Amino acid sequence: MQNWLTKRVDLTPERTAITYAGQQLSFLQLSQAVEKLAQQLASKLDDNPRVAILTTNTLTGYEMILALQQLGRTVVLLNYRLAPTEIAYQLNDADVTQVLQTDSYTESLANVQQLPFSEITAAPLAQVELQSNFDLDQVTTIMYTSGTTGKPKGVEQTFGNHFYSAVGSALNLGLSADDAWVAAVPIFHISGLSIMMRSLIYGMEVRLYERFDVKQINADIINGEVTTISVVPTMLKSLLNELPVGATYPSRFKTMLLGGGPSDLATLNKAQLAGVGVVQSYGMTETASQIIALDPKDALPKMGSVGKALFPVELRVAHMTTEGVGRVQVKSPTLTVGYLNKMDKYEASFEDGWFDTGDMGYQDAEGYLYLVGREGDMISSGGENVFPNEIEDVYQQLPEIKEISVIGVSDEHWGAVPVAVIEFNQGQQLTHQALVDFGRQHLAHYKVPKNYYRLTNDWPRTASGKIQRYLLQENTNLDDKIL
């Protein structure tokens, strides 16, 4: 397949490719900037086919990723928020010798050459032959899983994975020539990188934000600057809460694509009043972004569902219990071709050709998928299986609760019991008894948390915004008990 960037320049050279901090580039201008950067990189890079990058959501970081693709290098995307020891593990695992890094990154990394962006952009131009074609079977990016349960794995993503992800998304969301997609989620994460890849394939503008600036993004939406934004639940709530009372989003704004967990009824109702469709979705690093999505018209009647498999994707729920809950398994052309240096773990993830996601869920009579949690999060209490997500979804209905996470703690009698860590909305509070009473109205008795604790530190999160329960379990001081 022809190089996506050069193909896009052939098709729509003057169409806007990216807007960042007031600067706007057409696809032709973006291509010229990327080509120059590729020539500068060629004078600095060694022969290692893999190059790591540490970047925030900046225009230079965006162009660096594309420039590495033009050179045929495999891009190892690193989370700059990780500790140096965590990054060192990934660099060693990927056998990387050079790291391109934003100038604001000041940590020292052992056994690699660190190349600040400013050093690269000041380098001389070297003669280089850019990739004329993208082989759909070629691994172009390696992205380490968020690590919600331990050591991350390097997920190998091909051009084909990204291409079919873009196809599935377009068939699900629709596509128009004037689409503009907000990228405020990290571009080193699949949710952000997939927007970059879609931009080249669709000819779509990306509005890149270095951080999630709720006021500025809301202003841009209201001013008719964008059509789509990728969000996680906390971002969705923030945008809607920031919206002036009675205000609605313009008709040009089509979709909030929600990942990282389903939304609650109050938020969905608020979105409906604001005149925007929320597309709840499910995907993984291993599937190059979303593979299952819920049509906005089904958001309320299918509350809690992540939807149905997108067009290129097959879905099944295997090994169902008597309650109808089983293992979520998929087949998809977006599926990773392997875990770097861990092919045994990759092969062990398959059953009869189906990839086991590690998530547990069920389908209703119409085939809509509902997730109940990851297998590793499951709490075995007195012989009963308890899934934290189910408990959290119930308690999230309380207006006093801003966020809640349920973890299992050991118990002499039951083996383990669920407890809840809660962040209340400002000025709000609930007693232990009120929380217990509410739980008993909606949950089996063994699912009602035994104790409740106030959040005393920041939530430990992955780059995609998911709470890392195992770190919450290890590091949270469960002393601030709610009485």
For residues 71 and 210, state if they share a domain. Answer: no
For residues 45 and 128, state if they share a domain. Answer: yes
Whether the predicted pLDDT of 175 surpasses 90: no
Domain assignment present for residue 102? The answer is yes
Residue in 36, 253, 279, 322 with CA at minimum distance from that of residue 173:
279
For residues 106 and 120, state if they share a domain. Answer: yes
Q: For residue 147, what pLDDT is reported?
A: 52
Range 243-249, long-range pairs (CB < 8 A, 24+ positions): 243/218, 243/274, 247/222, 247/274, 248/273, 248/274, 248/275, 249/221, 249/222, 249/274, 249/275, 249/276
For residues 250 and 370, state if they share a domain. Answer: yes
Domain assignment present for residue 351? The answer is no
Domain assignment present for residue 337? The answer is no
For residues 209 and 226, state if they share a domain. Answer: yes
Query: Which tens digit of pLDDT belongs to each residue from 190-234?
Result: 999 999 999 999 999 999 999 999 999 999 999 999 999 999 888
Tell me which residue range forms the domain holding 71: 4-11+22-134
- pLDDT top residue among 53 and 178: 53
Give the domain-ending residue among 375, 408, 431.
375
* pLDDT, average across residues 384-403: 88
* pLDDT, average across residues 386-399: 88
Domain assignment present for residue 275? The answer is yes
For residues 293 and 263, state if they share a domain. Answer: yes
390: confidence class by pLDDT, cuts 50, 70, 90: confident
23: confidence class by pLDDT, cuts 50, 70, 90: very high
DSSP H or E segment with residue 311: none
- pLDDT top residue among 357 and 265: 357
For residues 279 and 302, state if they share a domain. Answer: yes
Domain assignment present for residue 296? The answer is yes
Q: Would you say 405 and 392 are in contact if contact means Cβ atoms under 8 Å apart? A: yes
Q: Would you say 172 and 334 are in contact if contact means Cβ atoms under 8 Å apart? A: no
Domain assignment present for residue 348? The answer is no
Give the chain's domain count: 3
Whether the predicted pLDDT of 134 surpasses 80: yes
Mean pLDDT (the chain, rounded): 92
What pTM did the predictor assign?
0.85
Whether the predicted pLDDT of 360 surpasses 70: yes
For residues 220 and 320, state if they share a domain. Answer: yes
Whether the predicted pLDDT of 476 surpasses 90: no
CATH of the domain at 232: 3.40.50.12780
Query: Which tens digit of pLDDT belongs to each residue from 426-472?
Result: 999 999 999 999 999 988 788 999 999 998 888 888 766 778 887 78
CATH of the domain at 431: 3.30.300.30
For residues 191 and 286, state if they share a domain. Answer: yes
Whether the predicted pLDDT of 146 surpasses 80: no
* pLDDT, average across residues 365-382: 84
Q: How far apart are CA 165 and CA 184, in angstroms?
A: 19
